[in-house]
Amino acid sequence: MFANLSDRLTASFKQLRGRGRLSEADIDATVSEIRRALLDADVALPVVRSFTANVRERAKSAEVSGALNPAQQIIKIVNAELVEILGGQARDLHMAKQPPTVVMLAGLQGAGKTTLAGKLGLWLREQGHTPLLVASDLQRPNAVTQLQVVGEQAGVAVWAPEPGNGVGDPVAVARSGVQHARDKLYSVVVVDTAGRLGIDAEMMQQAADIRDAVQPDETLFVLDAMIGQDAVTTANAFAEGVGFSGVVLTKLDGDARGGAALSVRGVTGKPVLFASVGEKLSDFERFHADRMASRILDMGDILTLIEQAERTFDAGQAEEMAAKLAGQGDFTLQDFLGQLNQLKKMGSMKKMLGMLPGMGQMREQLENFDEREVDRVEAIVHSMTPAERNDPKILNGSRRQRIARGSGTTVAEVNSLVERFEQAKTMMRQMARSGGKGVPGMGMMPGGGKKSKGRMAPPPKKGKKGKSGNPAKRAQQEVELSLKTGARPAAGASFGLGGAVGGGQAQDLPDLEELQKYLR
């Protein structure tokens, strides 16, 4: 969603790099470019004015003029101001002292309230709560049925005493749902309410009546992040007619300009609590302003990536796999298949790669990344017998032909997978033995195997033997050198991030062609 804004902001910082001192003209030109980028992203004008005024004031202050690297200081200021307009510190849901906690959802029709109710219910269940979804949208056709289906998928109970489709009293349903939650000891009640295609007095009155009946601890305004400037009008109307304590942004995975996400906090003063980032029920996350600002400035979102991995990967199994890669046992294709399945549980590989720093500069390659390669690899391994997975060396010509027929691939693809698997296993073991310094032959992670454009490796010093181009031989040279010198790799070197992320310096980026090659 923020691709265009991210590109524009990144481009505006490039002209500042290498400057030892910034003039007022440099600052004015950069702020003007930032203003145009925000307006093009459909950010509300009052928010743009406040943002650029704060950036200009801080950019001309002593914190920049006295900095060793003024360009990096400007980026730091822009990042801090983005965090501020996105909401600052993340806030948790206000939980009632006496259960159940009542959460009411309000918003226009089409914003995704019903699906969001299921996502919120799943998220609450994973947090250890016992949620109940209440179907108070009795006007939209099949809204009650949709909530029942979504609740079943999320494993969350649904209170739906009325069939809907214009039948029943939504206020009575909401009231009875809260009472049912008290009787059955549910800890959280999520009330789904009706919306309209546009703001009208009847919708506002009905939402206000439900609010008065259930006395919610949280009223969440569900906002479609793709509606642009309309978000300001809609948010103000709901703030005046119903009132809300927090905002939930939906469809953040869309390709709109994203002005709603940047405008709603500045216009309403209410924090954004959650974000829906996909169609699956699991595509739902807490909204962190600092992480979103990092994504916009192409600094990545490593913390969210780590959290997703912690939820998906089994710690004991991960330690076992790490030990096997270090040489304590044999890492087989069966182990590889298990790791691949856990990786798929984390979601789209494009999304995961997009959370790495600097990936905005490789957006075209990222879009062309074929996720079906993972399915093809999985099909090939599934077509092998247990003995073949544990020892690929027994794969002769006839076995490879059988595997190719069973997986719907070619013998060449089977050969390529086996070859790449052996190479990757060797490289991982060499990396483990060398203290996590990097994958030999592929550069520092996530730098891939190709040098950045316009950069050349420095020539070897006289009297010293140059590094070999052979991955195994080069790894051996590095091990021998570390044994002689006793040196250890620098902290963070395994990720190629020696300096501050997003500091305006050129960084090695992942080569997606190399990654796809290992999946073929």
Annotated binding-site members for GTP: 107-114, 192-196, 250-253
CA atoms within 13 A on the CB side of 509: 24
Q: Which of 265, 262, 298 is nearest to 39 (CA)?
A: 262
d(CA 481, CA 466): 12
Which residues 6+ apart lie within 8 Å of 166 measured at CB?
A: 138, 139
Place of tokens 């948790």: 92
Cα(324)–Cα(335) distance, integer angstroms: 9
- The whole-angstrom separation of Cα 470 and Cα 187 is 61
* CB proximity list for 33: less than 8 A, separation 6 or greater: 8, 11, 12
DSSP string, 43-86: --HHHHHHHHHHHHHHHTSHHHHT-S-HHHHHHHHHHHHHHHHH
Q: Would you state the structure tokens that stand for residue 458, as one six-digit string?
A: 């420095």
Residues belonging to the binding site are 107-114, 192-196, 250-253
Closest-CA residue to 323 (of 473, 203, 428, 182): 428
- The amino acid present at 254, given as its one-letter code, is G
Q: Give 476's contacts (C-beta < 8 A, 6+ positions apart).
A: none
Closest C-alpha to 227, from 1, 460, 517, 518: 1
Cβ(144)–Cβ(152) below 8 Å:
no
Number of Cβ within 10 Å of residue 329's Cβ equals: 12
Helix (H) or strand (E) holding 221: strand 218-224
86 CA to centre of own chain:
16
Structure tokens at 309: 């991995």
